[in-house]
Structure 1
Amino acid sequence: MKSWRLWLLAVATLLLGMNGVDTEDIRAKNINLLTPTDYNMVLNLGMRVLPRDCYDMLMTSSGKARDGVYLIQPGDSPIVAYCAMQEGGWTVVQHITVNSSVNFDRTWDEYKNGFGDVTGDHWLGNKYLNQLTLGPAHYKLGVKLVDRDAVTKTGEYDPFLVEDELKAFRLRLGLFQGTAVDALTMDTENYLHDNQKFTTKDRDNDNYFQNCAKLEFQGVPGGGWWYDACAGANLNRRNVIYWQKDCNKEHLCKYAWMMVRPSDSVKMIYSGDCKKDEL
């Protein structure tokens, strides 16, 4: 087993060298969300003071940063994240394609640390959601849904907070606005996701007598989510992206994104002139 791991390390190092990337530049805690051949896609390698999030990176670049993978540092250690710069500096924390090859039926630790491919379908990780939304600024959550007819609907919750692991990554949401239905805070179908703890197949924190993450539709489990009993929305069920009337079994959606960005009322604290200890 040890020799096998050493062989993998040697191959990864060789690939990095072929792509012109110094392994010392790749120090992200969630490097598992990038394949070795994609390391050269990180757009701010060598940056001395890392941005806290994608919006901070956009401001540091005077609005010139392009969409792509960046090193950011919302907590003590750097992580890689995909930044939607053209849409205003959003940090993508989730992306899913219906019938994705990425399995979203994961354990508590996998949802905690993140999984998938940061350039495609992935979950950034609950501990990083906590770090991002903990502050110092208030954050908002953006949701983007695209149906099979390429009709796009969006929504924002402001503010947005994911509490720490001791509180089971509880979801806290503020006011909603957007073209999509408010599927997380409006109790229109007796499901209220706001203030719910996170549930996975091996950690049942929901309000149903069974584990909602284990309940299957067409043989596919629900995946981890902030379930009630069980769901008015679930963007981690990979065979049916669910968002009340906007995305469901009758009205199929092809893609969904979850993104975070500082609230409009506090974005002014982010600028290219800020020092790291001021963020």
Structure 2
Amino acid sequence: MLDVNGVVDVEHLKAQNLRMLPTDQHNQILNQGMKALPRDCHEMLLSSSGQARDGVYLIQPGDVPILVFCAMQEGGWTVVQHITMNSSVNFDRTWSEYKLGFGAVTGDHWLGNEYLHQLTRGPGRYKLGVKLVDKDAVTKTGEYDPVLVEDDASGFRLRLGLFQGTAVDALTLDTENYLHDNQKFTTKDKDNDNYFQNCAKLEFQGVAGGGWWYDACAGANLNRRNVIYWQKDCNKEHLCKYAWMMVKPSDSFKLVQGADCRKDEL
């Protein structure tokens, strides 16, 4: 929201987005009176000397402030996706909806490809975290370091670095002839995948695939709301109840000059 001078009216933005949130979350969103908004949850955690709690905060990775859920107890991760098996939130969305996000940040949601791009483009290196919880409450995690989601003109292409974790590497390890690394994003109205049909439209038990970085089609898909799919960790035989995707600055944080960064350096 802009005021009459063309300046972002942060207070109006807060008011508009806070109306549907519980009262006890308001003070967290106000960021305890910070003079400048942090660009991500990790910066917010550092500025609070590690005292910030899990919850909803206002950050500004680009020109416009956005509300996000911060996983502070896990190290200041900015949550960019959350899904529950048989979620009431519809993930069968258009390109524009996936670009700017949908759902509630306190529940199942997609933060938005544009904001994923703004977060991961730097100025420093970022990493992608994945958290999976199965029906027996067994949790598996994985990290890709670094991560970059390119801009709209590049199809929000996903670029990933090295993987580590207890989960299967389902995005960069081509064990089933599906390689999600370096793929453009596909939605039901914008087909960028490598299959002769649109992978986002293919249904399982009557539910379409949802937007994702498809190959032809998927070794992983965390945006199908009837079955969370992550190769052997989460599938129709081994059901998972929850999944999260998160980003934070890389532990090996360093500044990268954007003009000199070539795509093959990631």
2:73 is paired with a residue of what secondary structure?
coil
**1:65 equivalent in structure 2:** 52
Residue 179 of structure 1 is matched in structure 2 by: 166
Structure 1: state its 5+ residue gaps.
1-22, 269-279
1:154 Cα deviation after fit: 0.2
Aligned to 2:13: 27
Q: Which residue of 1 aligns with 2:75?
A: 88
* Amino acid in the other structure paired with 2:227: V
**TM-score where L is the length of structure 2:** 0.88
- DSSP-derived class of the 1:58 partner: helix
Q: Which runs of 5+ in 2 are unaligned?
A: 1-8, 256-266
Question: Could you report, residue by residue, the CA deviation over 1:6-32 in whole angstroms, capped at 9, with x for unpaired residues?
Answer: xxxxxxxxxxxxxxxxx962426xx98
Q: Compared with structure 1, are the counterparts of its residues 26 and 259 closer, same or farther at alpha carbon in structure 2 (3 Å cutoff)?
A: farther
Correspondent of 1:105 among 82, 92, 95:
92
Partner of 2:148 in structure 1?
Answer: 161
Structure 1 ranges of 4+ moved more than 6 A: none
| TM-score (normalised: structure 1) | 0.84
Which one of the candidate residues 187, 206, 228 is aligned to 1:200?
A: 187
Q: Aligned AA for 1:27?
A: L
Corresponding residue number in structure 2 for 1:19:
none
Residue 37 (structure 1) aligned to one of 11, 16, 20: 20
The one-letter amino acid paired with 2:34 is M
Kept after mapping to 1: 8 A contact 2:178/2:217 = yes
Report the Cα distance in structure 2 between the residues aligned to 1:86 and 1:217, rounded to whole angstroms: 36
Match of 1:126 in 2: 113
Note the C-alpha offset of 1:76. 0.9
Find the partner of 2:212 among 225, 242, 265: 225
For residues 39 and 164 of structure 1, what CA distance do their matches in structure 2 show? 34
CA shift, 1:36, in A, is: 1.9
Match for residue 246 of structure 1 among 218, 233, 248 = 233
How far apart, in 1, do the equivalents of 2:11 and 2:241 lie? 35
Structure 1: distance between partners of 2:42 and 2:230: 27
Moved more, 60-69 or 35-44: 35-44
Aligned to 2:13, the other structure's residue is in SS state: coil
Q: One-letter code of the match for 1:37?
A: M
Q: Distance in 2 between matches of 1:162 and 1:37?
A: 30
Indicate the SS of the match to 1:59.
helix
Give percent identity, aligned residues only. 79
* Distance in 1 of aligned mates of 2:113 and 2:166: 26
CA distance in 2 between partners of 1:60 and 1:47 (Å): 9
Q: CA RMSD in A?
A: 1.7
Structure 1 counterpart of 2:43: 56
Letter aligned with residue 152 of structure 2: E
Residue type matched to 2:200 in 1? A
Q: Matched residues in 1 for 2:230 and 2:67: separation?
A: 28
Is the partner of 2:42 in helix, strand or coil?
helix
